[in-house]
Chain A
């Protein structure tokens, strides 16, 4: 059974849409990630216009982040104060991102920028994760290895506007989380992702937050960033397809349940290693498409 997606203006088999949601949902449940970095390229691959894929995926991530954050809230793993600062930056950044997106689209370079962003950021994050998980695996075989300091003080801690974040046990400048939030917000708007894969390492390594609160806090701020992108894209470009988002979500909710159960049987560093390989695979695939000569040097796009 095919369904005509009213905003994307293409029809897709309903089984493919729900299957995509389920597959990506399974992986996101398994690895504890949002999955936007997989879903957006897959939607584009299946013929959804890039602008619609990016905006619709933002809409879907609102839902998956809400359901994710509720579990973390129950366990008290959300630093709301830190989340609010990150969110403020994120809303500013994603607003800029939507404007930048429209501009790049108007000059015909949005596909290129989306692809380049994927290659650069997935490449960096994937490589770092792979190295980290391999190190952990090696270290766990050598008992008695010394663990490093939780976080080191550097010039970033000398910035003004210091604030106390009780839940994260931090006393740092508000400028830092604001800037991180803004930077990830821009990427979220352009790449059609929540940005957790950059936000989480940034929270651990740049802000020095305890790992117990990073995922919950990241999800909390992603809700607002992606809600902002959904709203702004709806107003500016009318590219949010909530029929598509709803169907993907339906599949993702079910897939994530199976994924999180499957994830329970694997060790943390093994999961991170596998996630790193998957991130790198997406990076290589998109990178390959950029270097290989296209079948047709010309392409056409119907404008509104």
Chain B
């Protein structure tokens, strides 16, 4: 049912095209998504969105779509064998890293444009100029580990190397928050494009940005951004706000609730 509605939306967008092309000057790209206000309610279990739009294309043109989520603080850890067991020996704290980053394209990014063009257009994890702070010292740096000030040894922020971004990206992909799909965008009649975005069940709430970039012969022709929000709604929002804004009251409530529930259970199943 949603699909049908989306198809009609695409057709509507396509009908709008001539007028856009005629009046919008360089803005020859229009994009939208099936739902720009995603609600995390009590029954939320991941959701699928359709990203679609129209552009003035030719054969062999490419479209790249990037959905990036709220800047997030991440802890990236490396484990190693210490005394026979696997222990986290190194922690890097990444600031302002997208907590969600899905990139869709018509072909692998490397075939679409040169690294320099991609970097300038800020496409792909490697182009994000991410930074990290080394938190815990490496086990073999001589300082040992488990020291009481291990958490406090923050150094200056350093630029992440491609290898590090690769390691982080693999972990983020495993939990569904990052994704790179080189066949994720389909183009029809050189005017319509579409991609299916899957928001996983652990999607971080916040402001999202959806960016569409149109490539021809390895160069950016035009691009457009649109916003999307992911927010808790209803009961789950209420509980979350209660727990975070009135945390002491929430704790008292949780205890009273448990005592009452325990008493109720004892009364209900009392042996005669």
A107 to B87, CA, bound (A): 12
Q: Which of B46, B78, B268 contacts A11 (CB 8 A)?
A: B46
Q: Return chain A residues, CB-CB under 8 Å to B232.
A: 6
Q: Return chain A residues, CB-CB under 8 Å to B266.
A: 66-68, 70-71
Given the known inter-chain contacts A2-B45, A66-B266, A67-B265, please indicate yes or no for A297 contacting B78, CB distance below 8 A: yes
8 Å CB contacts to A: which residues of B205-219?
none
Q: Which of B74, B85, B88, B257 contacts A291 (CB 8 A)?
A: B85
Q: Which of A7, A10, A59, A70 contacts B240 (CB 8 A)?
A: A7
Q: How large is the interface on B (under 10, 10 to 19, 20 to 34, 35 or more residues)?
A: 35 or more
Q: Which of B136, B244, B247 contacts A108 (CB 8 A)?
A: B136
8 Å CB contacts to A: which residues of B105-155?
135-136, 146, 150-151
How many Å from the CB of A264 to the closest CB on chain B?
A: 11
Q: Which of A223, A242, A253, A302 contacts B239 (CB 8 A)?
A: A242
Chain B residue with the shortest CB-CB distance to A7: B243
Q: Return chain A residues, CB-CB under 8 Å to B171.
A: 296, 298-300
How many Å from the CB of B103 to the closest CB on chain A?
A: 18
Pair B87/A112 contact, Cβ less than 8 Å: yes
Q: Any chain B CB within 8 A of the CB of A275?
A: no
Q: Which of A7, A11, A298 contacts B201 (CB 8 A)?
A: A11
How many Å from the CB of A228 to the closest CB on chain B?
A: 9
Q: Any chain B CB within 8 A of the CB of A106?
A: yes
A111 to B91, CA, bound (A): 14
Given the known inter-chain contacts A66-B266, A291-B86, A300-B74, please indicate yes or no for A235 contacting B248, CB distance below 8 A: yes
Given the known inter-chain contacts A4-B45, A67-B263, please indicate yes or no for A234 contacting B254, CB distance below 8 A: yes
How many Å from the CB of B265 to the closest CB on chain A?
A: 4
Pair B255/A297 contact, Cβ less than 8 Å: no
Q: Any chain A CB within 8 A of the CB of B262?
A: yes
A224 to B248, CA, bound (A): 16
Chain B residue with the shortest CB-CB distance to A238: B243
Q: Return chain A residues, CB-CB under 8 Å to B41.
A: 4
Pair A257/B88 contact, Cβ less than 8 Å: no
A246 to B265, CA, bound (A): 12
Q: Any chain A CB within 8 A of the CB of B77?
A: yes
Q: Which of A59, A70, A240, A246 contacts B263 (CB 8 A)?
A: A70
Q: Any chain A CB within 8 A of the CB of B65?
A: no
A258 to B76, CA, bound (A): 44
Between A and B, 6 residue pairs with Cβ closer than 8 Å are: A66-B258, A234-B254, A238-B250, A242-B253, A301-B77, A303-B74
Which residues of B are interface residues toward A (Cβ below 8 A)? 40-46, 72-81, 84-88, 91, 93, 99, 135-136, 146, 150-151, 167-168, 170-172, 174-175, 201-202, 204, 232, 235-237, 239-240, 243-244, 247-248, 250-255, 257-259, 261-263, 265-266, 268-269, 271
Question: 10 closest Cβ contacts across the A-B interface?
Answer: A234-B251, A66-B262, A2-B45, A63-B262, A62-B258, A67-B266, A63-B258, A300-B171, A6-B239, A231-B251
